[in-house]
Each structure stands twice: as structure tokens, then as C-alpha cells.
Amino acid sequence: MPVQKTPEPTPPDLSQQTAQMIWSHWQSEQVLSSLPEACRPLNAEQGYAAQAQLPAVAGRAVLGWKIAATSSNGQAHINVSGPLAGRLLSGQMFETGATVPSAGNRMRVAEPEFAFAMGQDLPPQSTPYTQQQVMAAVATLHPAIEVPDSRLEPFTAAGEAQLLADNACARHFVLGKAAPDLWRSVDLSTYPVHARVDQGQQPRYTREGTGGNVLGDPRIALTWLVNQLSRLGITLEKGHVVTTGTCMVPLELQPGDTATADYGPLGRVSMVFSN
């Protein structure tokens, strides 16, 4: 009677392996030149699949989403052909005025952004959402600052799939107070934002931007995100925040800097980059 062979154990899910590799490097503040070949995502689908495992691996809740590479300059900088979506995780979101950790951050930039808080769920559907449908689901607009980073070095050469696995360079995020409702009647595509960086009481520099640097309009960027999630079978949930991408050239930071973004009648947001 032939001896039955013990079935080979099913190898661990590669997406989970990738997420564990990324998260362990975040925890140790080490970098990778690239993910190991055995668990390296090869396309956007695999990159998003690995990213989807990050919340469970990290023990974090998803509080919202970020969009990376929402300008042609940003896409050229990291060598991708279009925007990328990443998750905003608990423990990484701050309120305006907060001190944001600088330790281990290699990018050392602050990105003034328009962020939307959702007032209702937008589940996956077979046809694309229109901008009108998406904006009707928004509860509030917020001035915001993203402080991105990556575990891939150089991140500019990592490629789309690995950057998606690395959560589209999401690290820390600062949410300002909700803007007055007048935001619904202004043209966000031309809306100006003024930023400054100070070291203590010493002004360092100022910079200007507009909503037009965000895929032409932050509302267009939000609509892209909703439809990207729909294609991935993901609901954009009520209460989630979506930050839509930098509206100016990112602000270079040194430890101890204060970054402030002024949105005029829509409010302002600030943060301190820790020493």
C-alpha cells in the first residue's frame, strides 16, 4: 500500500509577507533598496494587495486616504504615470499645531493639501462616480499638511508597484479645522494657498500654491480616489478623510521648523517638525 505523502504546507500569503517586511522597516527606521524578489509586487494590483494587508499587520485602523503624485512634476519625480492611493492609519494623524516626529524621516518635507471628510459611504459600483455625486457625499473641507516618507531608498527609483506596497509614501498627517461652508461656492482649481517655514522666531522662507496643482482641482482628485477604490472593491467610508495631494512644491523641513499653510477665509493649519 503506497505511503501517503503529507501535503506541502500552503506558503504564507505573499501580500502579507510584503506588508510585514514594510512595517518592520518602518518600526526599525531602516530602509530597503527594494523589496526581496520573493515578495516584491510586480504591478499595481499586487502593490495595492500588499498595502491592503498593512492595517492588520500594523494593528492600526484606517482613518482615511491620501493621494500621491497628483501633479505632472510629482509623477515625474517618482517615475510613475499617474496618481497613487495610500491609507491614513491611526497613530499617524495629528491635529493642527501638533509636533510631528522627525526621527527616521528621510524625505523631510511638508505638503499643504486640501482634505475632505466624508459624510456618507461611497461603496463600489459598476459605473464611475461623477464629481457631482462625490461632492454631494462630502461633509467638510479641511486645510491639511501631509508629512510623507518612504522605506524605499531611493524612493524615486522604486516604481509604482513597490511605492503602493509602501502605502504610497504615507507617514504623518496633520488635519486642520473644518473650513466654513463657503468653500462649496469657491473655485478650488484657482484657490491660492500661502505657506511659510520658520525656525523658532526666525522666518526661513515662503511658498505659494493653488488647488490647480492637484490634478487640476482637488475635487477632481477626490473623484479619482473614489473611483480607484471602487475598482479595487473598497468603500470610501463615512467619517474617512481624504487628503488630495500637495498644492505646491513640498516645503523642505529641518528639525525644529514650524510649517504653516494659510488658506485665507478657509482657515490655516500648522505643525512643528520635532528636534
Residue pLDDT, tens place only, 47-62: 999 999 999 999 999 9
d(CA 173, CA 212) in angstroms, rounded, equals 21
* Mean pLDDT of the region 151-170: 95
> What's residue 72's pLDDT?
84
Q: Which of 2-6, 134-138, 163-167, 224-228 has the lowest mean pLDDT?
A: 2-6
Q: Could you give phi then psi for residue 162, rounded to 5 degrees?
A: -70, -35
Query: Whole-prediction pTM value?
Result: 0.93
Does position 144 have pLDDT exceeding 50, yes or no? Answer: yes
| pLDDT reported for residue 265 | 98
From CA 6, how far away is CA 255, in angstroms rounded? 57
Report the mean per-residue pLDDT for the chain: 94
CB 181 within 8 A of CB 57: no
Whether pLDDT at 271 is above 80: yes
What is the pLDDT at residue 81? 86
pLDDT at 109: 98
Q: Per-residue pLDDT for 8 more than 90?
A: no
Q: Please check the confidence at residue 4 and state whether its pLDDT lies above 70.
A: no
Tens digits of per-residue pLDDT, 72-124? 888 988 889 899 999 999 999 999 999 999 999 999 999 999 999 999 999 99
Q: Report yes or no: 158 and 166 within 8 Å, Cβ to Cβ.
A: yes
Query: Under CATH, to which class is 61-273 assigned?
Result: alpha beta
